[in-house]
Structure 1
Amino acid sequence: MADPRFILNANDEWVIRDVWTSTSDNFYAEVAEENVRRLKLSFPVRSGRKWDLNVYNSEAELEVAYREVGQAWAGPVITFPRTVLIKNTVGPNFIIKRNHEERYALDIGLVSRYWEETESQPDTAGILRVVGWRLNMAAIAYGTE
Structure 2
Amino acid sequence: MKHFYKYLAFALLAVSCDKDEFRPPDIGLNYFPLRTGYYQTYNVNETVYSEVAAPENRVYQLRVEVTDSFPNTGEAGYTYVVHRSKRASENVAWQDLDTWQVRENDRELVVTEGNRPFVKLTFPVRKGNAWNGNKFNNLDADEYEIQALDESFTAGGTTFEQALVVNQENNEDLIVYQDKREEVYARNVGLIYKQTTQLRYCTSDDCLGQQKIKSGIIYKQEIIAYGVR
Give the TM bin, normalised by the shorter chain.
0.7 to 0.9
**In structure 1, C-alpha distance between the alignment counterparts of 2:182 and 2:170, rounded to whole Å:** 12
Q: 1:129 aligns with which of 191, 212, 216?
A: 212
- The amino acid that maps onto 1:101 is E
1:128, distance to aligned residue in structure 2 (A): 4.1
Q: Among residues 82, 107, 119, which one is paired with 2:200 in the alignment?
A: 119
RMSD (Å) for aligned C-alpha atoms? 2.0
Shift of 1:102: 0.3
Closer, same or farther: CA 122–91 of 1 in aligned 2, 3 Å: closer
Shift of 1:99: 0.9
Indicate if the aligned counterparts of 1:65 and 1:87 stay in contact, CA closer than 8 A.
yes
Give the fraction of aligned pairs with identical amino acids, expressed as a percent. Answer: 23
Name whichever structure is richer in helix by fraction: 2
Distance in 2 (alpha carbons) for counterparts of 1:18 and 1:36: 13
Q: After superposition, where does 1:1-145 map in structure 2 within 5 Å?
A: 18-88=98-168, 90-93=170-173, 94-126=175-207, 128-130=211-213, 131-145=215-229
Deviations 1:30-60 (A, max 9, x none): 0101111000101111111001111111223
Distance (whole Å) between structure 2 residues aligned to residue 89 and residue 134 of structure 1 = 14
Q: Deviations over 1:76-127 (max 9, x none)?
A: 3211110100003553333121111000000111001001211112335325
Aligned residues: 131
Q: CA deviation at 1:71?
A: 0.3
Relative to structure 1, the CA distance from residue 90 to residue 116 in structure 2 (aligned partners, 3 Å threshold; closer, same or farther) is: closer
> What does residue 57 of structure 2 align with?
none
TM-score normalized by structure 1?
A: 0.81
Structure 2 SS opposite 1:139: strand
The alpha-carbon distance between structure 1 residues 62 and 135, as it changes in their structure 2 partners (threshold 3 A), is same
Deviates more, 1:78-87 or 1:16-25: 16-25
Larger Rg: 2
Q: Which has the higher contact order (CA 8 A, sep 6+)?
A: 2
Q: Match of 2:226, SS? A: coil
Unmatched runs of 5 consecutive residues or more in structure 2 = 1-83, 85-95
Contact between 2:166 and 2:183, CA under 8 Å: does it hold in 1? yes
Query: 8 Å contact 2:183–2:191 — kept in the other structure?
Result: yes
Query: In structure 2, how many angstroms separate the alpha carbons of the residues matched to 1:78 and 1:26?
Result: 29
Give the structure 2 partner of residue 13 of structure 1. none
